[in-house]
Structure 1
Amino acid sequence: MNELKLSKRLEEVVKSIPKGARIADIGSDHAYLPCYAYLQGYITEAIAGEVVEGPFQSAKDQVKKVDLENVIDVRKGNGLAVLEKGEVDCVTIAGMGGTLISTILEDGKEKLEGVTRLILQPNIGAINVRKWLLDNEWEIIDEKILEDEKRIYEIVVAERGEAKKPYGDELESGLLVGPVLRVEKNEAFVKKWTHELAHLKQIASRLSSSAQTEESKQKLARFQQEIKLIEEVLV
């Protein structure tokens, strides 16, 4: 039963769960994360939410396979709609785009009553997650960035608090690259933003040499500002 293995990125998500938490894993897929978290002693119970029928059935099968039906409740529904207020104190959402994660949080805001920690792992668009947290008074207390199977992932951990505090005087660059990550600047961080910088410079170069409509001028200015921010962070 303890042989369940997680990907490196999901292992890091689990490590951010407070010991003894009751969690909701939204978009749980095969429910690997809550099963692993329970078997490793991180959580006392879990709700695994899944909106798609196939993964929902897979999650139910997995929970049954490891004999955890009494502690992990697999529910079918969209986002946080699977929760009642006060059922959990920690929510994990992993493996989706940042825009979708933000939409799930916004649409289910009232279900977050009693939740003290959010652990969010956007595959892309982490800036959208950080903007939502900032707008809704969730303070980023930790971030991780890692390479797993040749892809780079970011994990954002937040609790209710002073949302602007982690950013200091550098809100714009903090939203883009992460207020914690930009301080640590580990190998995965440098690799990600060096690649992103080269990509943005290519786009900016094409835009600057093409016909200048008002829209393309605005796009170019936006890309140039991002380039400036990334270059300053990578120094």
Structure 2
Amino acid sequence: MPWRHMFKLDPDRSISDEALDKICMSGTDAILVGGSSGVTFDNTVDLLSRIRQYEVPCVLEVSNPDAAVPGFDHYLIPMVLNTSNPDWLIGHQQRAVREFGSMLPWEIVFAEGYIVLNGDATAAKVSEANANLATSDVIAYAQVADRLMRLPFIYIEYSGMFGDMELVRSVRQKLHQAQLIYGGGITNLEQARLAAASADTIVVGNILYDQLEQALLTVQAVREIQE
């Protein structure tokens, strides 16, 4: 998918109708729905029903199989590549397919290889990720996902802090076919520009709840890189 900019909304966090209207009408390429904790079927359905009032594509990141709500345009299944617990690489996914496989719209379901690099983030703690990695280790994880596993998406996640853009660029240069997504700590235009120049897609999330107007400007920052 030719996404360059995505806003990420957490079903477990409140967002006003006015703010949601600005987000969905901002020109972002897609709305990504997901979170590290507190995501349920009910709060995901509620958020989807509100987003569906707009034409923007809506993507569900299925971190909790019980919250796999029908009606999204695409579904992304995270596989945490640098986890120390195989459940987060293949175990949860296998159990979800065993239970829901017959109902999955496989033509719009895609795997994404996560590399979580902020050890203090909830995502790292929940997934038991080893975030203390050298650049060569991160590149190797990405190449395993890209070349061996043939995953369509690789997501470098710094959740809560702005990451190392030199590392992100190094990973991108080594990829053959996977689309590189970056998320984490984008709070201003300059960071959005740097991230957009380093990755194929950027995800802007937390700032939506704290500094909405600044978040909305990141859409234009990505457009400037494209031009």
Larger Rg: 1 or 2? Answer: 1
Report the structure, 1 or 2, having the larger helix content: 1
The question of a shared fold, defined as TM-score above 0.5 by the shorter chain, is answered with no
TM-score scaled to structure 2, two decimals?
0.37
- The higher relative CO (CA closer than 8 Å, separation ≥ 6) is in 2
Which structure features the higher share of strand residues?
Answer: 1
Q: Tell me the TM-score normalized by structure 1.
A: 0.37
